[in-house]
């Protein structure tokens, strides 16, 4: 194990510690309809963990068997994860938004013996994805069926005795990537990697056992698994859950989180929600009035449920600088971090060191450098063991001296601050032989509240173009010609502004407005709300010739006759 890590820091040792030292402290809070909630203390939660672990142990599977969790975030998700570990097995989290085919692919690839099943986005389709022979256990949030229920197993099984532990170098989990560039790969991590990240993050941003967090980002993703569950288990703080989008603000107000983790697309949606209640120009004017500034900021954060937040962080994709600055102007201590499924969370600003456009310095124990091609390389105790059943890709992912090839283009300033420029595989060449990096340009467009999502395209063309999805409110009104003309003018002004900040070969030739939607369900975005660039390119490539023939700065996938603005 890494030098700063002891056996007492590993996840199972931590839960036994809180079971022993803080049995009456509330660990998990689960809403279940009508404003009602159920709490589990550490004593109660670990008692259920022990009973489910006893059932798993009784199945007599070989140690290290893979057991999946397919569910939205809930108290039972956390307890199932811990029970799998106590029983000597390996957890395989699966995104609850996946289609049946993808679920089946993961379960078959990892050879899962069992699957804990809770609420998912498409409940009936989910069941169709579970192969025959995989034993299933229903969480109380799952649809009723013939599979054994969690509460029945808790009642029927005596708690496993003693405090079973696992060595730090033991495989703890296989996390499947969200599939932005193809089939998901199974990333293998040990107990030591999870513990190391939790311990270092807790020390770096000064977390303690009094923290509160609302768990709503998918636990199948590394941001929530390492940044939230990992630190909660390490420190023993309280986790609240959300029933879903309809109750989100109520759940947030109940939790009054001190830690808030999010992703760029959700932060954009929260901002758009504020502007729907109070127009941007009016809010800016109020914030400029000294006597009102403080009360206005407090009111907005309170309405968002973020007035108690001490540490807020965004990850999983680049956050437009303007959005970061807007939240910080409101008084939210928002920073941008960096990590990958393969490396866990490796970069985060220390308190007081946030630099807009950067993701902070490497956390203690992490070495980061860029090679001659500007690709970011990372070496640390948190690097994955490799990809499950794929030794060839695993070997190719590391340099000879043990640095993981992230695939991200980056710059490291002399003081160690890291700036992500884009993905190596995403840059494309124009017909003039010049390379374009889409991510920074997309971020500039996404900073405007009219744009909900964006994908830059144009390989082999003289200039790139952007396909954008409008914010939901804008999509509702553009069926009317007059409103559509107004939106066109807004997009033209935005394109002209962005073009003034780009090199000539990067400047946009036009903006195409997609009809949408882009969802996880239709395969256009990943479960972590990142665009699937190859899918979007395949979808819109047949439209490009027609868009170019129109010779207009703003074109639409769904035509309506409007008076078009002139190119500025």
The CATH code of the domain that includes 457 is 3.30.300.30
Q: pTM here?
A: 0.83
Note the residue count of the chain.
Answer: 568
Tell me if 203 is assigned to some domain.
no
- What is residue 461's predicted lDDT score, i.e. its pLDDT? 85
Same domain, 220 and 273: no
Tell me if 7 is assigned to some domain.
no
Same domain, 82 and 134: yes
Tell me if 447 is assigned to some domain.
yes
Q: Which residues are CB-contacts of 54 (< 8 A; sequence separation ≥ 6)?
A: 87, 157, 158, 159, 160
Tell me if 461 is assigned to some domain.
yes
Q: Which residues are CB-contacts of 183 (< 8 A; sequence separation ≥ 6)?
A: 105
- What is residue 150's predicted lDDT score, i.e. its pLDDT? 97
Q: What is the CATH number of the domain that holds 313?
A: 3.40.50.12780
Same domain, 432 and 417: no
Same domain, 412 and 485: no
Residue 58: how many CB atoms within 10 A of its CB?
11
* The domain boundary residue, chosen from 360, 395, 424: 424
Residue 151: how many CB atoms within 10 A of its CB?
13
- What is residue 181's predicted lDDT score, i.e. its pLDDT? 52
Separation of alpha carbons 472 and 524, rounded Å:
16
Same domain, 405 and 386: yes
CA-to-CA separations, 448 to 357, 454, 496, in angstroms, rounded: 16, 11, 13
Tell me if 497 is assigned to some domain.
yes
Separation of alpha carbons 464 and 195, rounded Å:
44
Residue 60: how many CB atoms within 10 A of its CB?
7
* The domain boundary residue, chosen from 391, 424, 457: 424
3-state helix, strand, coil in the chain (%, to 5): 40, 20, 40
SS (H, E, C) 63-100: CCCEEEEECCCCHHHHHHHHHHHHCCCEEEEECCCCCH
Tell me if 126 is assigned to some domain.
yes
Same domain, 377 and 233: no
* Phi-psi label, residue 138: left if phi above 0, alpha if psi -120 to 50, beta otherwise: beta
Domain that holds residue 354: 258-424
Same domain, 310 and 235: no
* The domain boundary residue, chosen from 379, 397, 424: 424
Q: Which residues are CB-contacts of 485 (< 8 A; sequence separation ≥ 6)?
A: 562, 563, 564, 565
Separation of alpha carbons 332 and 304, rounded Å:
11
Q: In the structure encoding, which two tokens stand for residue 365, read together? A: 């124990």
Q: What residues pair up with 309 in beta bridges, in sequence order?
A: none
Same domain, 123 and 32: yes
- What is residue 290's predicted lDDT score, i.e. its pLDDT? 80
Query: How would you class 107 by CB atoms within 10 Å of its CB: exposed for 0-12, middle for 13-18, buried for 19 or more?
Result: buried
Instruction: Flag residues of the chain having pLDDT under 70.
Output: 1, 3, 178-182, 478-480, 559-568
Same domain, 385 and 438: no
Report how many domains make up the chain.
3
- What is residue 563's predicted lDDT score, i.e. its pLDDT? 43
- What is residue 49's predicted lDDT score, i.e. its pLDDT? 98
Same domain, 129 and 24: yes
Q: In the structure encoding, which two tokens stand for residue 150, read together? A: 């969690």
Q: Which residues are CB-contacts of 66 (< 8 A; sequence separation ≥ 6)?
A: 89, 90, 92, 110, 111, 112, 113, 174
Same domain, 334 and 369: yes
CA-to-CA separations, 413 to 256, 353, 376, 417, in angstroms, rounded: 36, 14, 13, 5
- What is residue 566's predicted lDDT score, i.e. its pLDDT? 44
Tell me if 154 is assigned to some domain.
yes
- What is residue 3's predicted lDDT score, i.e. its pLDDT? 64
Q: In the structure encoding, which two tokens stand for residue 518, read together? A: 């882009």
- What is residue 223's predicted lDDT score, i.e. its pLDDT? 87
């Amino acid at each position: 194990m890494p030098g700063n890590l002891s056996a007492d820091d590993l996840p199972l040792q931590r839960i036994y510690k809180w079971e022993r030292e803080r049995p009456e402290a509330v660990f998990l809070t689960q809403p279940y309809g009508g404003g009602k909630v159920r709490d589990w203390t550490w004593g109660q939660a670990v008692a259920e963990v022990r009973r489910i672990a006893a059932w798993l142990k009784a199945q007599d599977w070989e140690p290290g068997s893979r057991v999946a969790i397919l569910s939205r975030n809930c108290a039972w998700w956390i307890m199932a994860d811990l029970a799998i570990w106590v029983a000597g097995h390996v957890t395989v989290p699966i995104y609850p938004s996946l289609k049946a085919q993808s679920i089946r692919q993961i379960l078959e690839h990892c050879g899962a013996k069992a699957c804990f099943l809770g609420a998912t986005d498409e409940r009936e389709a989910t069941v169709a994805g579970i192969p025959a022979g995989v034993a299933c256990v229903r969480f109380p949030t799952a649809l009723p069926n013939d599979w054994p229920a969690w509460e029945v197993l808790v009642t029927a099984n005596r708690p496993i005795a003693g405090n079973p532990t696992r060595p730090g170098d033991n495989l703890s989990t296989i996390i499947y990537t969200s599939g932005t560039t193809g089939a998901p790969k199974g990333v293998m991590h040990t107990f030591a990697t999870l513990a190391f990240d939790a311990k270092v993050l807790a020390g770096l941003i000064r977390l303690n056992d009094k923290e509160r967090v609302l768990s709503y980002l998918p636990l199948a993703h590394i941001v929530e698994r390492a940044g939230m569950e990992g630190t909660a288990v390490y420190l023993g703080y309280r986790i609240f859950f959300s029933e879903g989008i309809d109750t989100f603000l109520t759940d947030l107000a109940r939790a009054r989180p001190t830690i808030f983790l999010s992703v760029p697309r959700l932060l954009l949606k929260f901002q758009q929600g504020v502007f729907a209640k109070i127009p941007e120009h009016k809010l800016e004017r109020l914030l400029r009035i000294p006597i009102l500034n403080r009360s206005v900021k407090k009111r907005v954060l309170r309405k968002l449920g973020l007035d108690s937040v001490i540490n807020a962080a965004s990850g999983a994709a680049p956050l437009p600088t303007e959005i970061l600055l807007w939240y910080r102007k409101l008084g939210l201590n928002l920073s941008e971090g960096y990590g990958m499924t393969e490396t866990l969370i490796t970069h985060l600003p220390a308190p007081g060191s946030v630099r807009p456009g950067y993701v902070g310095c490497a956390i203690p124990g992490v070495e980061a450098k860029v090679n001659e091609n500007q690709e970011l390389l990372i070496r640390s105790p948190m690097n994955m063991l490799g990809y499950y059943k794929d030794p060839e890709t695993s070997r190719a992912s590391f340099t000879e001296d043990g640095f993981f090839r992230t695939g991200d283009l980056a710059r490291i300033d002399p003081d160690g601050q890291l700036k992500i420029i884009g993905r190596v595989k995403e840059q494309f060449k124009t017909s003039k032989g010049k390379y374009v990096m889409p991510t920074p340009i997309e971020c500039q467009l996404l900073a405007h509240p009219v744009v909900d999502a964006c994908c830059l395209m144009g390989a082999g063309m003289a200039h790139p173009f952007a396909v954008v999805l409008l914010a939901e409110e804008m999509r509702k009104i553009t069926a009317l010609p007059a409103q559509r003309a107004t939106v066109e003018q807004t997009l033209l002004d935005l394109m002209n502004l962005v073009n003034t900040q780009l090199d000539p070969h990067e400047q946009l030739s036009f903006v195409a407005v997609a009809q949408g939607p882009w969802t996880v369900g239709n395969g256009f975005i990943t479960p972590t709300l990142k665009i699937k660039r190859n899918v979007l390119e395949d979808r819109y490539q047949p439209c490009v010739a027609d868009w170019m023939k129109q010779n207009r700065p703003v074109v639409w996938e769904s035509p309506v006759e409007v008076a078009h603005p002139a190119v500025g």
